[in-house]
Amino acid sequence: LRDSVYIKSDIFEVVYSEKLQQPKFVKYTVQCPTGAASRSGMDFYICDSIVTSDAKDYVNNPYDKGHMAPAADFNCDKENLKQSFSYLNCTLQHEKLNRGTWRLLEVHERELAKTNTVSVQIRMNYSKNSKVLSTGATVPDSFTKIITYGNKKEKYFFKNEEPKSSDYNNYKVK
């Protein structure tokens, strides 16, 4: 299994670890801050040429299939939206982080993208103590997210756990 495979899709770039069955790094530019394509009927899909996590890794645990490049940033049409559902763009993210503070930060990205070009880089952080599920996938310890727009840069750090605050500004790193 490969530790770092670089893949560039039409909507994101990823360094993916087959060993971890998780992405290590994802980079994208918000394309559709006000898109309205429906994600109805869409679900994550595996990539034939890369060993990724799959649906079994997300059963009976507190982890969501967390989009790193968010579906809502690419919902200008069904094709772009579908690309965001690749397991290459999916990580084991604590459900309360994914559905709470992280989601609100994604809304912030789209607000910024209404008047700026917004580029985002996310690093999934792992350690020798990272949890490995019985299904083989490794749970990231934390996430570092950098949002760049105009001549500004915002950096955030989140542990992969239930957030203590819903205010993403509390996770901003100087």
Distance of CA 74 to the CA centre of its chain: 13
DSSP 102-146: HHHHHHHHHHHHTTS-EEEEEEEE--TT--B-TTSPBPPSEEEEE
Q: Quick: pLDDT tens for 3-25.
A: 999 999 999 999 999 999 999 99
Q: Quick: pLDDT tens for 22-74.
A: 999 999 999 999 999 999 999 999 999 999 999 999 999 999 999 999 999 99
Question: CB neighbours (10 Å) of residue 103?
Answer: 17
Q: Which residues partner with 86 through β-bridges?
A: 45
* Residue with the two structure tokens 């990539």: 47
| Residue 174 banded pLDDT, cuts 50, 70, 90 | confident
Handedness of CA 95, 96, 100, 102 (dihedral sign): negative
Average pLDDT on 102-125 reads 98
167 is written with which tokens? 């205010």
| CA nearest neighbour of 134 among 106, 76, 92, 174 | 92
Average pLDDT on 160-166 reads 98
In the three-class reduction of DSSP (H, G, I as helix; E, B as strand; rest coil), residue 7 is classed as: strand
Kind and range of the H or E element at 102? helix 101-113
Q: What pLDDT score does 88 carry?
A: 98
Structural contact between residues 111 and 33, judged by C-beta atoms closer than 8 angstroms: yes
Q: Which amino acid is at 130?
A: S
